[in-house]
């Protein structure tokens, strides 16, 4: 498999127009989500984990009770790639954007 190519800042900015709940923070796509309770947050994470595993592209994330914080970056490329954007879109699909 070819190594993903890091996107330039303009390309990331353009892509973020279609991902309004995401921001570029510290060179990573960033989103924070709040759920009703821990079970709902953890269920969301489990669904995302299955997609991420199929993509072989895994988020940097954390969970504290009903809150999930997600950062997406392709470490091998040293920045945001199309893989990160695809995973962000998939994540948005689980929460209705």
- Within-domain flag for 25: yes
20-57 confidence digits (pLDDT tens): 999 999 999 999 999 999 999 999 999 999 999 999 99
Q: What's the domain range around 65?
A: 9-95
Give the CATH number for residue 49: 3.30.1360.20
Q: Which CA distances in Å does 8 have to 12, 15, 81, 82?
A: 6, 11, 9, 11
- Here the tokens at position 15 are 């892509």
- Within-domain flag for 53: yes
Query: What's residue 28's pLDDT?
Result: 97
Query: What's residue 17's pLDDT?
Result: 97
Instruction: Tell me the average pLDDT of the chain.
Output: 95
Query: What's residue 11's pLDDT?
Result: 97
- Taking 3-state DSSP, the helix, strand and coil percentages for the chain, each rounded to the nearest 5, stand at 45, 25, 30
Domain count, the chain: 1
- Within-domain flag for 3: no
pTM above 0.85, yes or no: yes
- Within-domain flag for 41: yes
Half-sphere exposure in the Cβ direction for 61 (13 Å, CA): 25
- Within-domain flag for 32: yes
Please check whether residue 19 is in contact with residue 90, taking contact to mean a CB–CB distance below 8 angstroms: no
Residue 4 pLDDT level (bands cut at 50, 70, 90): confident
- Within-domain flag for 2: no
């Amino acid at each position: 498999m070819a190594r993903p190519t890091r996107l330039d800042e303009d390309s990331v900015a353009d892509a973020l127009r279609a991902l309004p709940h995401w921001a570029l923070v510290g060179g990573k796509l960033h989103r924070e989500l709040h759920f009703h309770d821990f079970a709902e947050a953890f269920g969301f994470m489990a669904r995302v984990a299955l997609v991420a595993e199929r993509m072989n592209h895994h988020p940097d994330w954390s969970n504290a009770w009903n809150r999930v914080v997600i950062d997406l970056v392709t470490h091998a490329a040293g920045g945001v790639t199309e893989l990160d954007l695809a995973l962000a879109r998939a994540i948005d699909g689980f929460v209705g954007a």
